[in-house]
Amino acid sequence: MELRKNYFADQRKDDLHEIGQPRPRSDSPGHVTGKTAYFADRNFPGMLHLKMVRSPHHHARIRSIDTSEAEKHPGVVKVLTAKDVPHNVYTILILIQIGPEDETVLADGKVRWKGEAVVAVLAETERAAQEAAAKVKVDYEVLPAVFDMEEALKPGAPLVNEYHGQNYYLYDSGECRKVRFGDVEAGFAGADHILEQTYQSSPIEHAPAETTGCVVAPEGNDRFTCYTNTQAMFFTLDNASIILQMPGSKLHFVGGTVGGGFGGKVDVIVEPIAILGAKLTGRPVSFIYSREEEMQISSPRAAEKVVIKDGFMKDGRIVARKVTGYTDAGAYSRHSPYGAQKGAGHYPGPYTIPNVWIDTYCVYTNRTPSSAMRGFGVTIGDFALEVQMDKLARLIGMDPLEFRFINAYRDGDMKAHRQPTEGAALIECMQEASRAANWPVAEKYLSMSSYTKGA
Amino acid sequence: MAIRRGRGVAAINYPTGMNLGGDPTQALVHSTPTGNFMVTLSSVDLGQGMKQIMAQICAETIGVPTDRVVVDTADTDTGPHCMGTFASRGTHRAGNAVIQAAREARQVMLEVAAEELEVNASDLETDGQGNILVKGAPQKSISIFDVALSAHFKRGRSISGRGMFLIPRSYPEKETGAMKPSTCYAHACTVAEVEVDDETGEVTVLTMKNVFEIGRALNPKMVEQQLVGGSWMGISHALYETTEPYYPNRDHGGTDFNQYLMPGPGDLAQTEIIVLERPSADGPYGAKGPGEMCANPQIPAVANAVFDAVGVRIDTLPITPERILRALKAQAGAPN
């Protein structure tokens, strides 16, 4: 790695003692010698293991659940169903007033994705819990499922989630989050060229070294200590408090040393049901995702579809950009309404464009619920934007890097969401990339600066 | 049939934090009787090194070496509220809270030292090595060890401070979408160089040259580990990963690291990282959040490089050999 101190030297005092120093990490020796304690290193006498019975169907009505055989299985201590969960229908962003509550801790009457938790089994060993889970009999009436966002948005599509009433999240702005800036149609009308393209992505896994999980210990004072690898301690505690209808003062969360998150540990999935298990049995409970659960049950990055329509001039200026973004939330909201909205705040990318129209939709399908991931709401948008930029440049025979200089935002430029640009540095990054990659650009681009307002 | 070479570029920016949701983090700092400092938080270290960075920020602000600071984090009985570690917010939000708490603690420390030295607190400075000196008369000094002892046992003072950082939540305007998603943005420009085998569709990423602008590299070695890891993750996202390889059929999704495709060490490109620093107006010592954005620009850079190599556009991720071969066949006019 090289630090290029010649850029922005006038904005920086390099007079610090501890900051800017490559100090060795104090936790590294523990990590690399195996001495660091993670949540799963907690082991308590009498600890129970929790395993989930999961839906084999993408969309189905539950006619009945028979747990009698599972309860008789040797080593089984408790079997939990929806009726055991005090506040079974929840949504995590209710803490920042993004409702409605739309997801069940344990399925109640219906499953909406393949893998949804239906029954929780607590047993003396992981093996006993797994074997007993296989003995739970659930009678399903399979319903038509929808896996494609366009299909889900068509009239007559199967309704994925009754708590929403339609297959998209309803923002205060309507069926999508909107950004309107300038007059996009007038921009298209005056453009030399127009290009509309569609980009898509698949869900991907966070792939942390340490799978999601927690260990819960009931304390002598009627409190519960939850050792967890959540990325957000109070966010998880407060949601657990709502789901369990238990005062937050009864809950003590301990964490903060995590084997990778990447956004995969911000859903509140394992802690509430494990605490409930500990409360109802009076025994410590461990609920740790297998690698298979981590990869196929925990939320992936959403599948996205991005349609970009650009109007641009022969000289390289983009004069109008219309973006329609679709985020596949899967069956439940989790963080997806926020992610789609974050996308609306991100488009049209780091470029100054006078006419912009943005619609971002959060769509429900019967896919695995997606949620936050590194680059949430932005990564796929950047893929779409930057491939589109390459196409536009080539369409008018311009160098793709020079094309970006022409459109790059600079300090003072008004963004589509009506904030003036501050602290821009795109131009300098591109100048340095031109040098580092030996990708020559015209001198006039090398003498540009983010400090001066664009044309 | 041939191995074809191409290169592609991408340029991006990325917001720090989640202004659209409300974004508070608090910190407490106190000294032990012998002049070490405890930072108490409820923020989570995901492995990226948050504890180390908070220690360096606290040390810089108080004016002691980093090894005099211990970070105790993520216990809800002791640590004050933090929204969480996500949205590239950890260093920016918690760092600002730590600075505020450390400043308050530093002020008390200087006041106690002033009483011991019989000078005004405003005439004192720290040497960064564990001592407090009179400005312009450095022979008149006291160690922070002695100041802490004095505070605890003689002066009855608590060398401690409270820190809070909150950017008020921005609510998007319904019709126009006017909003303030972030107060600062990190930037990047990446050039990817690839080879594409037009017989097998296989892509080899040869080099990945990344320029990142991150506000301030608080610990350059840790910045490097995060940015290199991000660059690798970008390659993985571009070329390999999906939980649904046969979508819309949901069967046969990967369930372990044998089935879920990611690049191994031999598949990773020669990676170059160059860092620029334009300090953010409201970041701790100018830092921005580069944690997420560092994995983004490689994806379109690779897609553009594949086009440059073989002349087909793959607009659906991941860019698999199958998709490249189908596109090449379509381009040649052959049926898929």
**Domains, chain B, with CATH or none:** 3-16+182-331 (3.30.365.10), 25-165 (3.30.365.10)
Closest CA to A331 of A144, A173, A159: A159
**A32 in contact with chain B, both atoms CB, cutoff 8 A:** no
Question: Sign of torsion, CA A369 A371 A374 A375?
Answer: positive
Task: Walk across the sheet containing B160-165 and list its strands.
Answer: B69-73, B37-41, B25-31, B160-165
Query: Taking the model in full, what pTM does it have?
Result: 0.97
Q: Where in chain A do CATH 3.90.1170.50 domains reside?
A: 48-142+207-296
Best interface-test mutation with B: which of A390, A404, A413, A434 has the largest number of B CBs within 10 A?
A390
* Pair of tokens at residue B19: 């202004």
Quote the pLDDT of residue B333: 86
Residues A438 and A207: their CA atoms lie apart, in Å, by: 35
Tens of pLDDT along chain B (336 residues) come to 899 999 999 999 999 999 998 889 999 999 999 999 999 999 999 999 999 999 999 999 999 999 999 999 999 999 999 999 999 999 999 999 999 999 999 999 999 999 999 999 999 999 999 999 999 999 999 999 999 999 999 999 999 999 999 999 999 999 999 999 999 999 999 999 999 999 999 999 999 999 999 999 999 999 999 999 999 999 999 999 999 999 988 889 999 999 999 999 999 999 999 999 999 999 999 999 999 999 999 999 999 999 999 999 999 999 999 999 999 999 998 665
Mean pLDDT, to the nearest integer, of A125-138?
98
Judged against a pLDDT cut of 90, whether residue A362 lies above it is answered with yes
Q: What is the rounded CA–CA span in Å between residue B316 and residue A201?
A: 5
Beta carbon pairs, A and B, within 8 Å: 406
- Please answer yes or no on whether B277 and A19 come within 8 Å at the CB atom: no
Rounded Cα distance, A202 and A330, in Å: 12
- The answer to whether A133 touches A118, Cβ cutoff 8 Å, is no
Least Cα separation, residue B154 to chain A (angstroms)? 30
User: In b/e form, how buried is each residue of A50-80, taking b as 16+ CB within 10 angstroms?
Assistant: bbbbbbebbbbebeebebeebeebebbbbbb
State the pLDDT confidence band at A454, using cuts at 50, 70 and 90: low
β-bridge pairing A318-330 and A356-364: parallel
Cβ contact, residue pair A292, B255, below 8 Å: yes
* Backbone dihedral region for residue B74 (phi beyond 0: left; psi -120 to 50: alpha; all else: beta): left
Mean local confidence (pLDDT), A75-82 = 98
Q: Share the mean pLDDT of chain A.
A: 97
Helix (H, G, I), strand (E, B) or coil at A344: helix
Please check the confidence at residue A335 and state whether its pLDDT lies above 90.
Answer: yes
Distance from CA of A339 to the nearest CA of B (A): 10
3-state helix, strand, coil split of chain A in percent (to 5) is 30, 25, 45
Superfamily of domain A48-142+207-296: Aldehyde oxidase/xanthine dehydrogenase, a/b hammerhead (3.90.1170.50)
Within chain A, which residue ranges are assigned CATH 3.30.365.10?
A: 177-204+300-402
What does the DSSP 8-state code read for residue B193?
A: E
Q: What is the pLDDT of residue B22?
A: 84
Interface subset of A 305-334, CB within 8 angstroms of B = none
pLDDT the model gives residue A14:
82
Residue B37 contacts A, CB cutoff 8 Å: no
The residue-averaged pLDDT of A5-16 equals 92
Average pLDDT rounded to a whole number, residues A58-84: 98
Domain A177-204+300-402 listed as CATH 3.40.50.300: no
CB contact under 8 A, A12 and B216: yes
Pick the residue with more confidence: A223 or B22? A223
Percent of chain A, pLDDT > 70?
Answer: 100
pLDDT at A18 exceeding the cut of 90: yes
- State the number of CA atoms in the 13 A half-sphere of A63 facing the CB: 6
Contacts of B82 in chain A (CB under 8 A): 232-234
Query: Cβ A2–B275 below 8 Å, yes or no?
Result: yes
pLDDT at A455 over 80: no
Of B44, B257, B274, the CB nearest to A255: B44
At residue A101, does pLDDT exceed 60? yes
Are A449 and A427 in contact by the 8 Å Cβ rule? The answer is yes
